[in-house]
Amino acid sequence: MTTPGDHSAQQHDAFHPQLKATAPGGPLRDRLHHIRTEDVDPGTAQTEGMRRFAAISGQSVGSERLWMGQTHVAPDTASANHHHGESETAIFVVRGHPEFVFAEERDGRVEEVRLRTRPGDYIFVPPYVPHREENPDPDDEAVVVIARSTQEAIVVNLPELYVLDQLDQGD
């Protein structure tokens, strides 16, 4: 039997039979990690017109299936068109009124769709969907928190928006 503070024997129980103490090449996975706002990493994939900062990633904390950080869009700015590869992306609007723009086919025509947001709103971006962020406010920066289903940020910059072809599921 181990006593509190005794870590000489690795503890396993029915709730955590596969738990590993370390990730391959990463930090310990048997503790919580605290990333302070001043420690977020600007050394992540970027898109013109916005600044991304990584907080939770495979590199920073050893995450295996998650990336989380924040994006800042300057006043009166639109990002370049881009997508996030295989990542599902969830966005929470912290400050400002950013707009998220994507292409959609309607009545045989391709149109830009604009999602106008406010603080407290959420946006979901499926894998590979081309989009861009815009901040129409002439004075204030927009800030969002982003979570992705991959351990590092994937960003593929594009020359234009287009409708993502749907895979034929019937054949």
Tens-digit pLDDT profile for residues 79-99: 989 999 999 999 999 999 999
| Segment 122-152, tens digit of pLDDT | 999 999 999 999 999 999 999 999 999 988 8
pLDDT band at 160 (very low <50, low <70, confident <90, very high): very high
- CB distance 150 to 67 below 8 Å: yes
Return the structure tokens found at 122: 């959420």
Read off the pTM: 0.75
pLDDT of residue 103: 96
Q: Which candidate, 110, 99, 123, places its Cα nearest to that of 165? A: 110
pLDDT in the model for residue 82: 92
Contact 43, 52 (CB under 8 A): no
Model confidence at 17, in pLDDT bands (50, 70, 90)?
low
> In the prediction, which pLDDT does 170 show?
43
Length of the chain: 171
Task: Share the mean pLDDT of the chain.
Answer: 82
Give the 3-state secondary structure of residue 90: strand
